[in-house]
Amino acid sequence: MNRRPALPFLAFAAALATLPAGCGRQDAPPPTAIDATTAARDDELARIQAEPGEVRRLQLLAGWVRDHTVDEIAAALHDANPAQHGELVWLLQLKLRDQNPGADEQTLSKLLGRLLHRPDESISGHDPDGETRGLLELAEKSPDEALRRLVDTPMHPNKRNDVRNRILGRLAGTDPRRALALLDATVGDRRDGLIAIARGWGRADARAALDWAAGLPASEYNRALTGIIFEEWSGQDPGAVVEHISKLPVTAESRERFVDLIGNWLRQDPDESAKWIQARTDLDPLVAQAAIETLTSTHPALVARLLADSTDETQLRRHGSRLAADWARVDPAAARAWIQQLPPSNASYGIMQAFARNLAHQDLPAALAFFDSLPDHLDTGSIAADIAGAFPTGQEALRWLLARPDSDSNRRAVTAAIGRMEFARPADMLTLLGQLPPGPRQLPVYQATAIAWLREDPAAAAKWIGGLQDPEALDAVLKVTRSSWADRDPASLGALLASVDKDERFREHAGRFVSDWSQDDPVAASDWVGQNPTLPLREDEIRRLFENVARHAPDSVERQISALPADSLLHQTALYGAIREISKTSPERAAALFTAHAGRKERRPLIDNVTLPWAKVDPDAAIAWTTSQPVSSTRDAGFEGVIHSLTPTDPHRALSLAEMASTPAARENLIGTAFYVWARHDRTAALAALDQIDISAERRERIRASLNRR
């Protein structure tokens, strides 16, 4: 049923009443008087439905619906002429909308569904399923009679439409022309009937059905019928339909349908579809792609040929590894021959790795032989690591790996192999070191030992790691244990890092350790930094540490700062981080911290970290505090911070602060700062005010030139 606009029912009925009585048909008879109080409901509706003029019939139907309840209308639907079902249901929807103002579509649909649903026993005790079977059986002998009886059989309109379509669809399999003729003579949704006929005809004689569909007027719906016929044909004989479409003129529509159908065929019957593809020399690239994506596990040799024919190198990168893995399971010799003729590339290396990994788990000797055949110039460490994972035990994998050339990937594989080995005690792993020459080959053994030992006995492991004399070994161990060690016992790790702080290679370890520790316990981390002030930490690591202290433990900030060497870069950076964090919430406390702890050399670089954020929230207090500082370059720097924050909202007051500068040169610098900030917000006003300011001509022109460049 087509959805019509949601016009209120009473308004719609009134509009219909104003239409001329004869506008539906010129020869329409005069309206029949309908007395709802005296005429039976069914007779009344029957007379209305017999009205030949469409507009007049709608007028009468609207009046009839207005005078009856929704239950009476729903009951009448089951006995009404099926041709008028759509009109009655539509009018019933409008009436429900009027009776339920504000109800959404879902609610209205539920109300309509409950009204239209009638239990089987309510219709004179008949059996609708039995009647449906009877009608379908009758249709086998006389579809005309079955359709005539269907009209008089009481059932839901949707059910009646469905039964009609099933009769037409069955008939289309033997006599499609007769099915089309009966469609035109029956009531119900024509489109549904055409779809049923297209399906039945497509299953029985798809080529004839396609010829019929081709003769229909061009439309989206009729093109859909063609697709339905192809779909039914594909279910019967996918090879025939693909062959048929491949001979049609190529259009965007036919090509898309061709690719869809052959994709289904590839999945349903890979053997037959593969034969068809192998026989073609002009394969569509989209079909080739579908075959590559579908046939790797069943026809890997064909997929390899298609990849070789493809000019798109991304196809090899995307599908080559999966092909190698699948092929290794069914025909490793053929897969190996294909791989060995591939040109060197990142894609071919990934293919080798996938092949070796899968082959190793089903035939380890064959995988080892393949590995030995690889070119010497190739970095085979990752391939070796994958093969090592297939050895029955870690000990066997380790022996094989230790015979391979050293590389980062080989070391990772050694670590993985050691992780699979069982030891009575982690310390027993150290006996492996005796099998290796000193140097890089020992590092993965050190790493695996430390990981296992820290897990089982952290104190003993920390003692052993701290006793390592080889800086390379210690560095390697810290790379894999620093995070877990810091979680278990940061103090012991800190003690170790403090003892090796003169070695530059451990600076990175110390910095990351401090960063991690400061997230969990910034006070303990800052205590450790204070106890080891010579640690080569970066300034940003120190700053973030003391920002965390100020954020999470503000009451301990002064104690932490006091513990640091005065006038040192460590002290200045820590104070900077603390002031920067505290000034976000309490500029007064930041100013007090500055006053109490900033040394003579630290005051000038730190003061604007107090005044700039303070002036944003309370310029009067910031100006008063800055003015109270001794006249000096430090106070000038404080005013510069105030000017940065004040200029966007009060540029003239900001300029007046320059008059308190300690020297004429400082005054001009502050004036320049004010104008640069002002120009970012209002360049025209800043340029106009520049001529009014008392400043040297040379400096004025420098400022003007700078503002004009911005």
Following DSSP, what letter does each residue of 497-536 receive, concatenated? HHHTTTSGGGHHHHHHHHHHHHHH-HHHHHHHHHH-TTS-
Higher-confidence residue: 638 or 482?
Answer: 638
Residues 338-363 have a mean pLDDT of 89
Residue 110: how many other CB atoms lie within 10 Å: 11
Q: Which ranges of 100-205 does DSSP label H, i.e. alpha helix?
A: 105-116, 128-141, 143-152, 157-172, 176-185, 190-204
Q: 100: alpha, beta or left, given left = phi > 0 and alpha = psi -120 to 50?
A: beta
Report helix, strand and coil shares of the chain as percent, to nearest 5.
75, 0, 25
Each residue of 294-341: pLDDT tens digit?
Answer: 888 888 988 888 888 876 778 888 888 899 999 999 999 999 999 988
DSSP codes, 50-92: T---HHHHHHHHHHHHHTS-HHHHHHHHTTS-GGGHHHHHHHH
Residues 417-435 have a mean pLDDT of 68
Higher-confidence residue: 520 or 360?
Answer: 360
Q: Lowest-confidence range among 145-149, 612-616, 668-672?
A: 145-149
Cα–Cα distance between 594 and 604 in angstroms, integer?
11
Instruction: Assign 244 a pLDDT band (cuts: 50, 70, 90).
Output: confident
Residues 152-172 have a mean pLDDT of 86
Higher-confidence residue: 333 or 246?
Answer: 333
- Side chain identity at 519, as an amino acid letter? Q
Cα–Cα distance between 484 and 461 in angstroms, integer?
12
Number of H helices, E strands in the chain: 42, 0
Top mean-pLDDT range of 106-110, 528-532, 666-670: 666-670
Q: What pLDDT was estimated at residue 268?
A: 80
pLDDT higher than 50, residue 120: no
Q: What pLDDT was estimated at residue 42?
A: 64
Q: What pLDDT was estimated at residue 412?
A: 78
Top mean-pLDDT range of 387-391, 626-630, 695-699: 626-630
- Whole-angstrom CA distances from 356 to 420, 497, 591 are 20, 42, 67
Q: Lowest-confidence range among 160-169, 420-429, 637-646?
A: 420-429
Residues 344-371 have a mean pLDDT of 91
Cα–Cα distance between 609 and 600 in angstroms, integer?
16
pLDDT higher than 50, residue 193: yes
Half-sphere exposure of 232 (CA within 13 A, CB side): 22
Q: What pLDDT was estimated at residue 435?
A: 67
pLDDT higher than 90, residue 491: no
Treating both helix axes as pointing N-terminal to C-terminal, what angle do 458-466 and 471-488 enclose, rounded to 10 degrees? 150
- 488-524 b/e (C-beta count within 10 Å ≥ 16 → b): ebbebbbebbbebeeeeebbebbbebbbebbeeebbe
Q: Lowest-confidence range among 11-15, 28-32, 358-362, 679-683?
A: 28-32
Higher-confidence residue: 478 or 439?
Answer: 478
Half-sphere exposure of 40 (CA within 13 A, CB side): 4
Q: What pLDDT was estimated at residue 665?
A: 92
Each residue of 25-56: pLDDT tens digit?
Answer: 333 333 333 333 434 566 777 778 777 777 77
Cα–Cα distance between 55 and 24 in angstroms, integer?
5
Instruction: Assign 158 a pLDDT band (cuts: 50, 70, 90).
Output: confident
Residue 593: how many other CB atoms lie within 10 Å: 23
Q: Lowest-confidence range among 111-120, 222-231, 276-285, 583-592?
A: 111-120
Each residue of 64-92: pLDDT tens digit?
Answer: 888 888 888 877 776 666 555 677 787 88
Each residue of 95-109: pLDDT tens digit?
Answer: 888 888 877 777 777
First to last CA, the chain: 67
Each residue of 253-272: pLDDT tens digit?
Answer: 777 777 777 778 888 888 88
Largest pairwise CA distance in the chain: 116
To the nearest whole percent, how much of the chain has pLDDT over 90? Answer: 28
Each residue of 202-236: pLDDT tens digit?
Answer: 999 989 999 998 898 888 888 888 888 888 888 88
Q: Lowest-confidence range among 50-64, 290-304, 635-649?
A: 50-64
Cα–Cα distance between 541 and 514 in angstroms, integer?
7
- Cα 610 off chain centre by: 44
Q: What pLDDT was estimated at residue 617?
A: 94
Instruction: Assign 685 a pLDDT band (cuts: 50, 70, 90).
Output: very high
Cα–Cα distance between 66 and 484 in angstroms, integer?
80
Q: What pLDDT was estimated at residue 501?
A: 61
Q: What pLDDT was estimated at residue 505?
A: 73
Q: How many residues does this entry show for the chain?
A: 710
pTM over 0.75: no
- Whole-angstrom CA distances from 146 to 56, 156, 182, 185 are 32, 17, 11, 13
- Side chain identity at 674, as an amino acid letter? A
Q: What pLDDT was estimated at residue 631?
A: 95
Averaged pLDDT score across all residues of the chain: 82
- Whole-angstrom CA distances from 287 to 256, 258, 263, 466, 533 are 10, 8, 8, 64, 69
Half-sphere exposure of 404 (CA within 13 A, CB side): 29
Q: What pLDDT was estimated at residue 366?
A: 94
Q: What pLDDT was estimated at residue 237?
A: 82
Torsion of Cα atoms, 600 then 606 then 612 then 617, to 10°:
-90
Q: Lowest-confidence range among 37-41, 306-310, 600-604, 663-667?
A: 37-41
Taking a C-beta distance cutoff of 8 angstroms, is the pair 634, 603 a contact?
A: yes
Q: Lowest-confidence range among 245-249, 442-446, 472-476, 666-670?
A: 245-249
- How open is the CA angle 339-344-347, to the nearest 5 degrees? 70
Give the burial class of 137: count Cβ atoms within 10 A of its Cβ; 0-12 exposed, 13-18 middle, 19 or more buried: exposed
Each residue of 555-566: pLDDT tens digit?
Answer: 999 999 999 998
